[in-house]
Structure 1
């Protein structure tokens, strides 16, 4: 969008926009740019002698950023700019990311004044919304946010395995457990997916499985509890009888002496 003197938009300093200003509606919000001195500000040629000096730096990080140039680099140095070099580094980074399994870390500023132990809730929420974190959470919530490794699922919900024979691998055993009558009656196949190593479930499926498990093992827990109480009672009774017997023996011994 091209701005002008009559535009309702304002620069960051609060001044009116000029005819050389234009606005781009980014995902995070509208940003105003200006074409004034645009070429001069980006005429950032990386001279060869500067590259050579930086490549001989005693700082390992600086030296790694500017490796020794080859003859081909010397020929192309007149056309090399900081922007071109940055573009090449970005292409290398993209290739590295595509060849690996990425994990993203989103950094959020707690306040605009960079003060410690101060959290501006409005600013934090705005950053989360503009960076797409909230939208990603909504998408994940609508999909299959809960996930467990097959080995963990089998260990946690072994009570759904049913009668033998059992499959030889955890994935097939997980599929069998999810078709258990007590589970299939409350969890449909549309609410979960079997991945390569994990079971993906919708938001409330894990809670439902835990409820079914608790209800299934409740009789056994109560039986174990009754046995434990009875056993503890017998142990205490045995200790009491033994103590009474020892007191009687000591009393008889004292009388004879």
Structure 2
């Protein structure tokens, strides 16, 4: 969503300013605060997850989330939802499209799942192209682990008891850090392209033909940033012609 709004709304209006075109700026919401909460620099949900060093730390992890992001009504993170009733292992995130709740059961254990170097190298040499590609990305993440996530035995690396006791496993690279590394790589590739977007809207939630749910369609369009996009296309300058083609034609 951030990539979409930046290209179709942010960069479009930046171009108008550069061209000194008279223009009433259109305000739009992006999901930067939510992205910072989930995995941004500094303290984040994924960063705190990487700091958890023992498989039975789910309860401690949820307490840390509440401490850092729950806060007081004046200091709490705007995208974090602290669930006070029903479960002590649940928290929520206010994504751009709405609130989603997560249960932290086994979060720490799943994030610590590691592969031996031998198994990773074996899969990286697989005869199946997709397997080679996936484990190639894992290998890249291992070669350049996130600087935000200290490994066991380093300052801030928890109380795991001295980094590495001869175990031939990837300890400093968690599932979360691999995910962030892969996502950053994808975004870097997207930034080098000239994107064209196709927005798909469901006419109804029942998957039935000839049924149009106006409220549901409007909700999807708002969450997808389509209302702002339609406005900037109708009020802005959607047609672009370079000088040479314009001169040749007219």
The interval holding the TM-score normalised by the smaller chain is: 0.3 to 0.5
TM-score relative to the length of structure 1: 0.44
User: Whose helix fraction is larger, Structure 1's or Structure 2's?
Assistant: 1
Q: Which has the higher contact order (CA 8 A, sep 6+)?
A: 2
Larger radius of gyration: 1
TM-score relative to the length of structure 2: 0.45
